[in-house]
Structure 1
Amino acid sequence: MQPLSRLASVLPLAAASLVSLSLQAEEIRYNQIALRAEVSEEISHDLMHVTLYSEAQERNPAKLAADITRTLNAAIKQARGVAGVTVALGSRHSYPVYDDKRQNITAWRERAELRLESADFAALSKLTGEMLKDLKMAGMDFSIAVATRKAHEDALLKDAVAAFKARATLATEALGGSGYKLVNLNLSSAGFQPPMPMRMNAMKGSMMMDAAVTPEVEAGTSQVTISADGVIEVQMP
Structure 2
Amino acid sequence: MLAFSRLPSVLALCLACTAVPAIAEEPRYNQVSLRSEVSQEVTHDRMHVTLYTEAQNTNPTRLASEITQTLNAAVTQARQAKGVTTSMGNRRSYPVYDDKGQKIRAWRERAELRLESDDFAALSQLTGELLNTLSMGNMTFSISPELRKQHEDNLLKEAVMSFGERAKLTSEALGGKGYKLVNLNLNSSGFQQPMLYRSAAKVTMMEAADAAPQVEAGTSRITVNADGMIEVLMP
The bucket for the TM-score relative to the shorter chain is 0.7 to 0.9
Alignment match, 2:195: 196
**TM-score, normalization: structure 2?**
0.86
**Partner Cα separation in structure 2 for residue 52 and residue 10 of structure 1:** 75
Q: Check whether the contact 1:185–1:229 (CA below 8 A) recurs between aligned residues.
A: yes
Other structure's SS at 2:208 match: coil
Change (3 A) 1:197 1:112: closer
Query: RMSD of the TM alignment (CA)?
Result: 2.5
How far the C-alpha of 1:9 sits from its partner, in A, is 9.6
Deviation of 1:152 after TM superposition, in Å, equals 0.8
Q: Label 1:9 to 1:87 Cα distance change in 2 as closer, same or farther (>3 A).
A: closer
Q: What amino acid is aligned across from residue 104 of structure 2 in structure 1?
A: I
Tell me how far 1:194 sits from its aligned partner. Answer: 2.4
AA of the residue aligned to 2:52: Y
Map 1:60-209 onto structure 2 (within 5 A): 60-196=59-195, 198=197
**Aligned position for 1:205:** none
Contact 1:197 1:218 in 2 (8 A): no
Q: CA distance change for structure 1 residues 179 and 104 in 2, over 3 Å: closer, same or farther?
A: same
Q: Tell me if structure 2 keeps the 8 A contact 1:39–1:160.
A: yes
Q: Which residue of 1 aligns with 2:222?
A: 224
Distance (whole Å) between structure 2 residues aligned to residue 9 and residue 106 of structure 1: 88
Offset of 1:183 from its aligned partner? 1.1
The whole-number CA distance in structure 2 between the counterparts of 1:171 and 1:94 is 63
Does the 8 Å contact 2:91/2:112 carry over to 1? yes
CA distance in 2, matches of 1:123, 1:5: 87
Amino acid at match of 2:189: A
Distance of 1:10 and 1:136 partners within structure 2: 80
Matched to 2:109, the amino acid is E
Residue segments in structure 2 that go unaligned for 5+ positions in a row: 1-7
Deviation at 1:147, TM superposition (A): 0.4
Which structure 1 segments of 5+ residues have no match? 201-207
Residues 1:67 and 1:174: Cα distance change in structure 2 (over 3 Å): same
Q: Which amino acid aligns with 1:213?
A: A
Q: Scaled by the length of structure 1, what TM-score is found? A: 0.86
Which of 186-195 and 78-87 deviates more? 186-195
The answer to whether the Cα contact below 8 Å between 1:38 and 1:227 also exists between their aligned partners in 2 is yes
Aligned residues: 222
Say if 1:45 and 1:222, in contact at 8 Å, map to a contact too.
yes
